[in-house]
Homo-oligomer: A and B are copies of this chain.
Amino acid sequence: MNVRDFKNKIYAELAGITKALANPHRLEIIELLAQGPCPVEYIVDNTSLTVANASQHLQTLKSARLVTSKRRGKYSYYSLASIKVFEVWNAMRDLGFSQNAEIEKLLKEFRESHHNLESVTCSQLLERIQQGKSLLLDVRPRKEYKSGHIASALSIPQDELIEKLKELPRNKEIVAYCRGPLCAMADNAVEMLINHGYKAVRLESGFPEWKSKGLPVEQ
């Protein structure tokens, strides 16, 4: 095989993988699966997809070897094939945030609609935890917490927060985190905490970003 044929084939394969990623719904699925394995139904509940369509997108991801599936009882549990899949998505999102004016505008609007809440980075959070300064709150659904969370984090899903406010200390800063920078759950939690007189900020990114940096996680 000559070099040109070799290159054509390799680039075609790599473009195939990239094409499998190049769809808004599939990117959203990747981000959900980065929280942990889940059935098709869970993806449907957390996106605007129909069942058949979600399944179809998952097949596309599966045949590009970006996700794997395992049947357990009635459900097919889908997972990311490797942490590298998340890393590609992370690099892509990072590129988008820095290059695309439209994305920048959307993010700015979104933050403003949440009154420009303060956020902390992973390394800032790590420091605060080590110094015992902050209480860490995982506001994702409990299932996601159970399939992996930041070390020392407490699980209070967003919709249970109002009932459990009393359990939280008023003198300590609370850091809430969720699925990632595009997820609004932490923003909502922080907003509510502040409205009730607590001191709270959100983690800029989320659990998968923390994990992919090799920072301490628990299960």
Contact = CB atoms under 8 A, between A and B. Distances in A.
Contact of A11 (B1, B3, B27, B87): B27
A48 B87 CA distance: 31
A106 to B, nearest CB: 6
Interface string A1-29: 10110111111111101110111111110
A93 interface: yes
Contact of A103 (B13, B84, B88): B13
Contacts of A6: 106, 110, 184
A28 to B, nearest CB: 5
Interface string A84-118: 11011001111110111011001101100100000
A14 B90 CA distance: 11
Given A10-B182, A84-B91, A65 B100 contact: yes
A24 B3 CA distance: 15
Contacts of A109: 1
Count the copies: 2
Given A10-B106, A22-B18, A23-B15, A99 B87 contact: no
B12 A24 contact: yes
A132 to B, nearest CB: 33
Contacts of A88: 88, 91-92, 95
A81 interface: yes
Given A1-B113, A113-B1, A13 B96 contact: yes
Nearest to A66: B99
Contacts of A87: 91, 95
For the complex of A and B, the 6 pairs showing the least CB-CB separation, nearest first, are A11-B24, A18-B22, A15-B24, A22-B22, A19-B22, A84-B95
Interface of A: 1, 3-4, 6-15, 17-19, 21-28, 48, 65-66, 81-82, 84-85, 87-88, 91-96, 98-100, 102-103, 106-107, 109-110, 113, 182, 184
13 contacts: A7-B182, A8-B48, A11-B28, A12-B24, A15-B26, A17-B92, A17-B100, A18-B18, A18-B92, A22-B22, A82-B99, A87-B91, A91-B91
